[in-house]
Amino acid sequence: MTDPAAQFDQLGEVYDTFSDSPFRRHLEIPTVLGALGDVAGQTVLDLGCGSGVYTRQLRRLGAARAVGVDPMAGMIEHARSIEAAVPVGAEYLAGQVPSELDGTFDAVLAVYVLPYTADRDLLADFCRTAARALRPGGRLVTLPANPGLRRDRGYYERYGFRTYGDSAGTDPDPITLDLCYADLDETISAWVWSAAALEDALTAAGFTGIGWSGPAVTRRGVEALGEEFWQPYLDCPHAMTVQAVRH
């Protein structure tokens, strides 16, 4: 299989555009940052940072150090160009997390990365990487696909994306994702892990206290678009928040 991350090399601008969507601004980003809690003074790794949407945000929220790492050089180049234009002190590294950073992070954030661990080796590598980056007691916040997400093409379209494709009954189970917010027109292959497989991999890597939670929408989001707009997503989110602690 070609590296699933390779799909993202040239998608920096796409993810920046998508980050302006009401879905990300009023629901996803507040949900993730709420799960992460207060990062003031903390050292945070944004693993699979892409264009740095969260890395920049972490610095704005007072993280002492925010390091974005992504295997795709094109994504990191894009993130660095934004940092050069509007410096916030976010650091970016292309490739793997260097071993000299092992055990130095209070928290690891990894948003929409698990859906691209397409087999058990990639899943185990991801979990081990997150665990070795953290100090004991450090926490992981990550967003895998919801194992019960909808596969009918139009269900999430109003939020700027579509998920579709019959279940193959495998673990992970492939799915197709279109980004269709504004003028975006990108199709991406993704994978849906069962809760049991994810929890086993996290536990094997040294995580404990694994908890799952769903999204919440901000009051401004409800005022702007109405409860009816958000309800289908809240009824069946396409991604869940998973938290775990490194023991």
Interface region with ligand SAM, contact rule CB under 6 A, candidates 80-88, 105-113, 198-206, 222-230: 105-113
Interface region with ligand SAM, contact rule CB under 6 A, candidates 50-58, 196-204, 216-224, 237-245: 50-58
- Asked whether position 105 contacts ligand SAM by CB under 6 A, the answer is no
Q: Buried b vs exposed e over 206-243: b needs ≥16 C-beta within 10 Å?
A: bbeeeeeeebebbeebeeeeeeebbeebeeebbbbbbb
Count interface residues toward ligand SAM (CB under 6 A): 20
Q: Which is nearer to ligand SAM, 4 or 138 (CB)?
A: 4
Distance CA 43, CA 125 (A): 22
Containing 185, the helix (H) or strand (E) segment is none
Q: How far is CA 196 from the centre of its chain?
A: 19
- Asked whether position 72 contacts ligand SAM by CB under 6 A, the answer is yes
- Asked whether position 122 contacts ligand SAM by CB under 6 A, the answer is yes
Non-local (6+) Cβ contacts of 129 within 8 A are: 47, 96, 97
Instruction: By CB under 6 A, name the one of 70, 83, 178, 186 that touches ligand SAM.
Output: 70
Instruction: By CB under 6 A, name the one of 23, 105, 126, 230 that touches ligand SAM.
Output: 126
Could you give the strand order of the β-sheet that contains 91-94, starting from the edge strand earlier in sequence? 91-94, 65-70, 43-47, 105-111, 134-143, 241-246, 207-213
Q: Which is nearer to ligand SAM, 213 or 227 (CB)?
A: 213
Minimum CB distance to ligand SAM, residue 193 (Å): 13
Binding site for ligand SAM (CB under 6 A): 5, 8, 15, 47-50, 53-54, 70-72, 75, 111-113, 116-117, 122, 126
